[in-house]
Structure 1
């Protein structure tokens, strides 16, 4: 039996674990990847470094918005998360956090993110953040994910939204460079996520989620991966003429060409392994895709500063 004197110690040990569980619901790794594109979008919009106050407010608001969307995703998908080895340890799947507590947490994060962006940046940035949360939580998670192979395609919209939010936070409007950069991130998400879905195909099949690698042949997935990799590179090069007046020049263009070559070569390697019947190793492309987007964002930052 736990004595009264022991209870504070037990509660003290549980608090860090509870905090870690709530943080896990927000999927921090995904948030980091989303925020990578926010800073270059803001710098493009202002033609240099935005104020530290605006930068911190936008990053904080964007973090809270992405966290809210991910919490709603975990809340709705808790049944299939229990069936997938990749997600079976998520707090809602294990019962560490109750569905009601998670739902309240997501709603609180939503209110905080929208309010912070509205007060400290622009109304448009706040509206875009709210729209991205609703799109990911409802349109992608609840409507598309379990019913169509095209869920990844349509789900790319909220994934690329940080670009628009970052631009709108600076200017209160949108412009063609923001749209093109949004297009880069949108196109990039398909080969990026399909590589992950290929690795965990059995998980998605077990949960009856019709991701493309589950319902299409490996050869079809490989071909579509190559096509979207080339589209990503093509749109990335389009940013040069469109954003020429915003500080984009030879530094970014050279980096985009070199990084794009690396990206498409790895996509073709994946297709070649599929055709030969060898081990596909899709995570190689997955990791390359992360480095590609991170370095492309750095190239924008460097070019604007130069």
Structure 2
């Protein structure tokens, strides 16, 4: 077996025993976590990079990129300085919600191999520091965005932070295998926030941008869950492969991939973009479906995990290429090249 794949799938531990060990208590559909039992301080204290890691910079980069797309595609334009302020506020808001997520998820982060070195479980940052940072960044970003642009954009940003930190992190993530489907809305809102920062409203075009990311999220994360399902199982997170099984997960990945490929052509249908974007969307969408089809047809475990990892990797580039094509197409049409 591939050594990297073998290392990525640790033995599954009993989730209930793990929750008792770290001191979490399930009340209704929300899990309350005793953070005093998930933090072991290390000598030397936190460094600047530890606090920066709380903001989930990789997730933040995707949020910023898609928010910029929404801001640039919105009609009317915006003062460059205000545009920069808007993007910074969206980035800080995303970072704040990321810090709140790390604060709440510290107990399961200690169990998963890919997260055990995060600032709280590694003992470099206290849960209280993470909570304070998340609240301050969230409140600051919403207030400044409202003052600099408009309160419609600020309201959308506040709702996005709430949806990710509370609805997804505290409720959906630990209670349903549909956590990614419903919770994926949080990651799909940034282009709508960027759009609203310019226009002060929501339009069909901004909703289409939302839908592309929303439909991209399940196959992206379920592919990750397929080759990391031991990690999620050890943490007791009800990801689709652990609850519904691999075959059901692969089928749903394929279905979402087909719908995504179709919806990605919507910008052409509503006149938001032209043939250049349409060609890119058609090719990349067909490729996405091809990766998903190969994964669906796989039966042997090692091959399946390799194909899941391939789809996950491709999906990262897919979103970047599709949104970049939107901007290039938009700019080319403004200049009369298309």
Measure how far apart 1:155 and its partner are: 0.6
Measure how far apart 1:50 and its partner are: 4.5
Distance 1:137 1:203 in 2: 22
- TM-score normalised by length of structure 2: 0.82
Structure 1 partner of 2:178: 150
Structure 1 partner of 2:99: 71
Instruction: Give the alignment's Cα RMSD to 1 decimal.
Output: 1.6
Residue 174, structure 1, aligned to residue 202, structure 2: yes
- Pick from 33, 56, 65: which aligns with 2:84? 56
Structure 1 partner of 2:292: 267
| Correspondence 1:22-171 to 2 at 5 A | 22-46=51-75, 50-171=78-199
Measure how far apart 1:52 and its partner are: 2.2
Find the residue that maps to 2:264 and give its secondary structure: helix
Structure 1 partner of 2:33: none
Residue 257, structure 1, aligned to residue 282, structure 2: yes
Find the residue that maps to 2:175 and give its secondary structure: coil
Distance 1:200 1:266 in 2: 18
Deviations 1:211-231 (A, max 9, x none): 111112211111100100111
Deviations 1:231-280 (A, max 9, x none): 111111112122x1x4x11111111101111111111111122x355521
Query: Relative to total residues, which structure has the larger helix share, 1 or 2?
Result: 1
Distance 1:304 1:240 in 2: 11
Distance 1:103 1:277 in 2: 40
Distance 1:122 1:14 in 2: 43
- Pick from 317, 324, 327: which aligns with 1:298? 324
Measure how far apart 1:111 and its partner are: 1.5
Distance 2:82 2:222 in 1: 35
Distance 2:309 2:82 in 1: 36
Measure how far apart 1:30 and its partner are: 0.9
Q: Contact 1:125–1:169 (CA<8 Å) still a contact in 2?
A: yes
Structure 2 partner of 1:216: 244
Find the residue that maps to 1:258 and give its secondary structure: helix
Q: Contact 1:229–1:267 (CA<8 Å) still a contact in 2?
A: yes
Measure how far apart 1:34 and its partner are: 1.9
Structure 1 partner of 2:303: 279
Q: Contact 1:43–1:304 (CA<8 Å) still a contact in 2?
A: no
Residue 236, structure 1, aligned to residue 260, structure 2: no
- TM-score normalised by length of structure 1: 0.90
Distance 2:208 2:144 in 1: 27
Distance 1:218 1:288 in 2: 20
Q: Please, which runs of 5 or more residues in structure 1 have no aligned partner?
A: 1-12
Q: Write out the 4+ residue segments of structure 1 that deviate beyond 2 Å after TM superposition.
A: 49-52, 275-278
Q: How many residue pairs end up in the alignment? A: 288
Distance 2:282 2:78 in 1: 27
Distance 2:90 2:105 in 1: 22
